[in-house]
Amino acid sequence: MITCKATLDPAFIVAPVPPRLFGSFVEHMGRCVYQGIFEPGNENADGDGFRLDVLELTREMGVSVVRYPGGNFVSGYSWEDGVGPVSARPTRLDLAWRSIEPNTFGLNEFMRWIARAQAEPMLAVNLGTRGVAEAVSLLEYTNFPSGTQYSDLRISHGQREPYSVKLWCLGNEMDGPWQLGHKSADEYGRLAAETAKAMRLVDPSIELVACGSSHAGMPTFGAWETAVLEHAYEQIDFLSLHAYYKKIDGDPVGYLASADSMDNFIAGVVATCDHVAAMKRTKKQIKLSFDEWNVEHLPYIPEENQQAWEHAPRVAEDEYTAEDAVVIGNLLISLLRHSDRVAVACQAQLVNVIAPIRAESDAKAWRQTIFHPFALTARYARGDVLRVEMHSDTTIDSPSRGDVKPVDMVATRDVNDGSTTIFAVNRSVSDAALLDVRIVQDDTYTIVEHAVIGGAHLSAVNAQSDPARVTPLPSTAHELTDRGITAQLPPASWTMLRLAAPDGR
Ligand code: AHR
């Protein structure tokens, strides 16, 4: 058995858990919007066409913020197409996903839906085929009280009060050659700065995210961030990161340790932001918005890109395994560990498309395996993230990563009730691990919950015919010690341990 020792000291705090860390993403892509969150006429939908079963699962998941409407989709989108009387809205070609876009769901529908989901909206403006003027008119429509063309247009569409949307993305993945209106770093950096300047003139209270790299493997990674920040540092609040992790042939440990790649990516972007801050001699610190992250296995569109134009085609409907859920649990550990710099994170996407929730027209929506670590982390990562000192007696070998630490862990502590929650992952596929956690505190604890995902049946999925095949299972493989707690972590598993202070304080 692998042995790992960790020390927690409630005095050593990384940062309060950022409320926006448990975000998601709704894009006009495949069946995420249409037949996902919105399916008028479905027996599970309400009078607005919102799937009530999907809304219920979204709330259960603890989704705190939702990015909309894209994604690659936004770079060819005209927001005006999606507002006003539905019968007058145009049907368009969506060039990003080779789909037919009927525009029956748009901004006002999304804002009604997000209120029901009890989450915060995060809107993206089109800086691909459009620019400063359209970003400003969209902001005027959403946030300006009244008495101007676009604010009065909103009112004429039945929404008297401004929406006061705070969080805005300045385009999407503008470094990617696949992006409509793809730009060089200098072109995008200038445009982001000018768009931000103009948007802040409309509403100084907004928070702005500039595009970082589409993934850490982009040839321009690092140089892109530096150039964009040189132009836009003073105008923006956040820089984005996107990453989708995949299985690695012949290297299950490498896949289970995907969070190491996330750690490195975040460290690189933090270093770049701080490098530009030093060059600019500014005290302002840029935070990170990891606004697309997930694991994925299916291609988005066939390589020849010749499929028929369709409305809401089945795209990237990954069926996730128990192993994927373990990886997702570890990615959430990485995000929490970096909560001093990662202020926003959105798992991509919410329903059907690379998603924790699945919906079919003839069934109630169900939870994919990856739903569970997200929901438990969103619910129980409370208070402050604690710094974890970890040591293990061994490393495990990954052909693609080299030596990998077998166990990864993070902990949070809620000062209000004295509770501590430990999230841990064993990335060894062959050996269980004994996690020995020392907690620097006079109090003893009681164990409230010990839940495990994985450990066996790693390829099991939650199919429509068996939607609860993979769920978190209770475990008793733990022991309170005079200095903390020990717990056994099965091979290839994710674990949550909830500890309460004896007096419930
Ligand atoms: O989430 C799917 C797509 O992945 C998004 O549209 C794009 O931003 C990314 O490449």
Judgement on whether residues 316 and 413 belong to the same structural domain of the protein: no
* Amino acid (1-letter code) at residue 57: L
Judgement on whether residues 22 and 69 belong to the same structural domain of the protein: yes
Judgement on whether residues 122 and 152 belong to the same structural domain of the protein: yes
Judgement on whether residues 244 and 307 belong to the same structural domain of the protein: yes
Pocket flag, ligand 1, residue 72 (CB < 6 Å): yes
Which residue from 300, 346, 354 has its CB within 8 A of the most atoms of ligand 1, so it is best to mutate? 300
Q: Is the separation of the CB atoms in 338 and 293 below 8 Å?
A: no
What does the pLDDT look like over 242-261, one tens digit per residue?
A: 999 999 999 999 999 999 99
Rounded to 10 degrees, the C-alpha dihedral 129/131/133/139 comes to: 100
**Distance (Å, whole) CA 31 – CA 358:** 10
**Number of structural domains found in the chain:** 2
Which residue from 242, 246, 349, 351 has its CB within 8 A of the most atoms of ligand 1, so it is best to mutate? 242
Which residue from 33, 67, 72 has its CB within 8 A of the most atoms of ligand 1, so it is best to mutate? 72
Which atom of ligand 1 approaches the CA of 97 most closely?
6
Choose one of 329, 356, 380: the last residue of a domain. 380
Judgement on whether residues 371 and 390 belong to the same structural domain of the protein: no
Judgement on whether residues 6 and 38 belong to the same structural domain of the protein: no
What is the pLDDT, as a whole number, of residue 305?
67
Judgement on whether residues 142 and 182 belong to the same structural domain of the protein: yes
What is the pLDDT, as a whole number, of residue 245?
98
Judgement on whether residues 53 and 69 belong to the same structural domain of the protein: yes
CA 68-69-73 angle, to 5 degrees, is 140
Which atom of ligand 1 approaches the CA of 25 most closely?
1
CA 335 to chain centre: 9
Alpha-carbon distance values, 23 to 20, 58, 138, 391, 428 (Å): 6, 10, 22, 31, 29
Judgement on whether residues 343 and 208 belong to the same structural domain of the protein: yes
Which atom of ligand 1 approaches the CA of 292 most closely?
1
* Amino acid (1-letter code) at residue 299: P
Burial letters for 333-365: b for 16+ Cβ neighbours within 10 Å, e otherwise? Answer: bbbbbbbbbbbbbbbbbbbbbbbbbbbeeeebb
Pocket flag, ligand 1, residue 292 (CB < 6 Å): yes
Which atom of ligand 1 approaches the CA of 349 most closely?
1
What is the pLDDT, as a whole number, of residue 443?
72
Whole domain around residue 486: which residue ranges?
2-11+384-504
Which residue from 98, 173, 178, 351 has its CB within 8 A of the most atoms of ligand 1, so it is best to mutate? 173
What is the pLDDT, as a whole number, of residue 242?
98
CA of 128 to the centre of ligand 1 (A): 14
What does the pLDDT look like over 27-42, one tens digit per residue?
A: 999 999 999 999 999 9
Residue 457, number of CB atoms within 10 A of its CB: 12
CA of 248 to the centre of ligand 1 (A): 21
**Active-site hit among 101, 109, 134, 292:** 292
Pocket flag, ligand 1, residue 175 (CB < 6 Å): no
Instruction: Tell me, yes or no, if 56 is annotated catalytic.
Output: no
Q: Whose CA is nearest to atom 8 of ligand 1?
A: 71
CA of 72 to the centre of ligand 1 (A): 6
Burial-class residue 411 by CB neighbours within 10 Å (0-12, 13-18, 19+).
Answer: buried
Q: Is the separation of the CB atoms in 113 and 66 below 8 Å?
A: no
Pocket flag, ligand 1, residue 291 (CB < 6 Å): no
CA of 71 to the centre of ligand 1 (A): 5
Judgement on whether residues 145 and 288 belong to the same structural domain of the protein: yes
CATH code, 497:
2.60.40.1180
Q: Whose CA is nearest to atom 3 of ligand 1?
A: 71
Which atom of ligand 1 approaches the CA of 316 most closely?
2
Listed residue (291, 260, 177, 275) closest to 222, CA to CA: 275
Judgement on whether residues 116 and 259 belong to the same structural domain of the protein: yes
**Distance (Å, whole) CA 412 – CA 22:** 15
Judgement on whether residues 339 and 471 belong to the same structural domain of the protein: no
Q: Whose CA is nearest to atom 5 of ligand 1?
A: 71
Choose one of 380, 399, 425: the last residue of a domain. 380
CA of 134 to the centre of ligand 1 (A): 22
Instruction: Tell me, yes or no, if 120 is annotated catalytic.
Output: no
Q: Which residues of the chain carry a pLDDT beneath 50?
A: none
CA of 300 to the centre of ligand 1 (A): 9
**Distance (Å, whole) CA 198 – CA 193:** 9
Q: Is the separation of the CB atoms in 265 and 213 below 8 Å?
A: no
**Distance (Å, whole) CA 326 – CA 407:** 12
Longest Cα pair distance anywhere in the chain, in angstroms? 70
Is the Cα dihedral 328, 333, 334, 335 positive or negative?
Answer: positive
Q: Is the separation of the CB atoms in 437 and 6 below 8 Å?
A: yes
CATH code, 372:
3.20.20.80
Q: Whose CA is nearest to atom 9 of ligand 1?
A: 71
Whether a cis peptide bond, with omega within 30° of 0, leads into 349 is yes
Long-range contacts of 402-408 (CB under 8 A, 24+ apart): 404/253, 404/254, 404/257, 404/260, 406/2, 406/4, 406/431, 406/433, 407/2, 407/4, 407/433, 407/435, 407/489, 408/257, 408/259, 408/330, 408/333, 408/334
Q: Partners of 6 in the beta sheet? A: 390, 437
List all residues 6 or more positions away from 422 whose beta carbon is below 8 Å from its beta carbon.
Answer: 8, 409, 410, 411, 437, 485, 487, 495, 496, 497, 499
CA of 27 to the centre of ligand 1 (A): 8
What does the pLDDT look like over 75-108, one tens digit per residue?
A: 999 999 999 999 999 999 999 999 999 999 999 9
CA of 475 to the centre of ligand 1 (A): 37
Q: Whose CA is nearest to atom 1 of ligand 1?
A: 348
Choose one of 340, 357, 380: the last residue of a domain. 380
